[in-house]
Amino acid sequence: MNVQPRAGEPIIVNVGLGDRAYDIVIGRGLLASLGERVAMLRPGCKVAIVTDETVARHHLAAAQAALTDAGIAVSSIKVPAGESSKSFRQFERVCDALLAARIERGDLIVALGGGVVGDLGGFAASVIRRGVDYVQVPTTLLSQVDSSVGGKTAINARQGKNLVGAFYQPIMVLADTALLDTLPEREFRAGYAETVKYGLLGDAAFFEWLDVNWRDVFAGGESSGSSAREHAIAVSCRAKAAIVARDERETGDRMLLNLGHTFGHAFEAAAGFSDKLLHGEAVGLGMSLALEFSARRGLIAQEEADRAIAHLAATGLPTHVKAVMGGNWPGIDVMMDLISQDKKVKRGQLTFILVRGIGAAFVTRDVATDEVRAFIAEKLGAR
């Protein structure tokens, strides 16, 4: 694990993809530099900001001011807050608005928001005029450590989450940690699931650090005098950048980043992609299930799995199926159908990310459907 940086010192993490490489810039108060950075990257461009109504109330004016102060013409497009905006309907609205704003290939789209806005805005950028550059300005912990990095863009379909999309890399990610100060605690906690994921899947030392310091990560804020939050974000981004550089299109190692997602996406879909179960909460629940399933298979010692699950529970993430939505889940047939829609399914064979220990995840297709069915049925309390 890397040495923790000095408080207030911006951190640059490079995503090494050859001529499509880009920087993730991490630190407090960076939004004010957006215009200057955009002007250096794309001189003379126009900018369209895609954001949601909640983020717009907090941060749109500052983003627009940063761009106009740099002499950049800017327009904005707002969508409703929440997972429901990752839909065909909102995708069409955004594309229509971008064309109405006369955004050209030499212009730029800024996705200002959490994972929903980043996925939606990035996907729109990938198809408008067959591809317009875009910048991610993530405003949630989840998007700063995960969804804004790596170029996975998508909307949801009736059949499941993120099933319609494209791999399309941004030209910069600007992660202003001060924007997290306005984040509700539940949203921050959901983002923490994607942070601790990096420790659980490939960095035992980072998990140990989080186990000691997670309260400082949650506290954050300028007044705390702590750089724990920036450190956690930077370590997460370095881990993801390294994996993306090796496997941009998720044919091998990148699937490790889906630890907890095969189970989690199914429960998230069953909850209707709603605030009944946020994405990060679903990932936390899914990681708990993956850890327990791995222990059942004798891959990880039960006490080690229990320790990781206890950490997730201590931070307030859900770890038991029956404790979410009052246990009112669809039947086992519906849940198995949702699991079978996972993007990693290959020729009908389920793909799972399991663990041989904390920091030792691996990809396997050696999991029988009947075994998964029996495990999920038990968790649902089905007979």
Q: Which helix (H) or strand (E) holds 155?
A: strand 152-157
Whole-number Å distance between alpha carbons of 76 and 63: 10
Catalytic residue list contains 261: yes
Q: Single out the catalytic residue among 161, 261, 311, 343.
A: 261
Q: Single out the catalytic residue among 59, 240, 311, 343.
A: 240
- 10-17 long-range Cβ contacts below 8 angstroms, 24+ apart: 11/230, 11/234, 13/234, 13/237, 13/238, 13/241, 14/241, 15/149, 15/150, 15/169, 15/241, 15/244, 15/245, 16/241, 16/245, 17/169, 17/244, 17/245, 17/248
Catalytic residue list contains 254: yes
Q: Single out the catalytic residue among 42, 59, 229, 279.
A: 279
SS3 content of the chain, % helix, strand, coil (to 5): 55, 15, 30
Catalytic residue list contains 268: no
Q: Single out the catalytic residue among 187, 194, 230, 292.
A: 194
Q: Single out the catalytic residue among 152, 189, 229, 311.
A: 152
Catalytic residue list contains 46: no
Catalytic residue list contains 152: yes
Q: State the Cα torsion 324-328-332-333 to the nearest 10°.
A: -120
Catalytic residue list contains 343: no
Catalytic residue list contains 194: yes
Catalytic residue list contains 58: no
Query: CA quadruple 117, 119, 123, 126: dihedral positive or negative?
Result: positive
Q: Single out the catalytic residue among 42, 238, 254, 343.
A: 254
Catalytic residue list contains 130: yes
Q: Give the 3-state secondary structure of residue 5.
A: coil
Q: Single out the catalytic residue among 187, 250, 281, 292.
A: 250
Q: Single out the catalytic residue among 78, 265, 343, 379.
A: 265
Query: What are the backbone angles phi and psi of residue 3, rounded to the nearest 5°?
Result: -70, 140
Residues annotated catalytic, as ranges: 130, 152, 194, 240, 250, 254, 258, 261, 265, 279
